Amino acid sequence: MQTRKGQSIEDASMQMIDEEIGIHKYNEKEWPIVRRIIHSTADFDFARENRVIFHKEAIESGMNALKNGCSIVVDVNGVIGGLNKQNPKDFQNKIVCNISNPEIMEIAKKENKTRSQVSMREASSDIDGGIVAIGNAPTALMEVIQMVKEGIIKPALIIGIPVGFICAAESKEELSKLEGTPFITNKGRKGGSSSASAIINALYKLVRAESSS
């Protein structure tokens, strides 16, 4: 059997996902995002029981923000690692990750907070009007939600899909209740860097498809 390469492998993978899932309740813009999460994780649970939750304005708001050159703030470098690097370059989107900044570590120690909390606070100017993508740290997501409630920031989109056992599911439930702010999240403990970057990559693909149609 001839080995598939590059795009043909991805196309074949997407076709397999479509065939395995069959009928689903996601619309024509939601499904490419859910499918890319599955592609990055090989976990079909994301498509079952409507586990991925979309605010009604999430996709359009995220696409418009990317097209307008918004900043993308992430909680860990792993999210950056999963991004298609050409996309932020083409649309002039600045990628921000403060988690390893020594100043963040000092502030976190002094204020008795997690580095993830402080890194989100320090990136508030980039989050405001931008996209924030959290794949690992529930405390980062809770801090972003708190900043929204305080009126400090108004993100174009919050991608909140942290993985884990402590406060991961709870932080996503809080995000799903947030009014007036577009978000993409999921139910339960699953998530991670690959899921967060998959959502951003899928949004870029939707932007490119829209511009070429």
Residues annotated as catalytic (active site), given as ranges: 39
Reported residue count of the chain is 213
The number of angstroms, rounded, from the C-alpha of 188 to the middle of its chain's C-alpha atoms is 15
Q: 70 near 93, Cβ under 8 Å?
A: yes
- Cβ–Cβ < 8 Å for 162, 134: yes
Tell me how far apart the alpha carbons of residues 88 and 106 are, in angstroms, rounded to a whole number: 30
List of residues 6+ apart from 133 with CB closer than 8 A: 72, 73, 74, 75, 79, 159, 196, 197, 199, 200
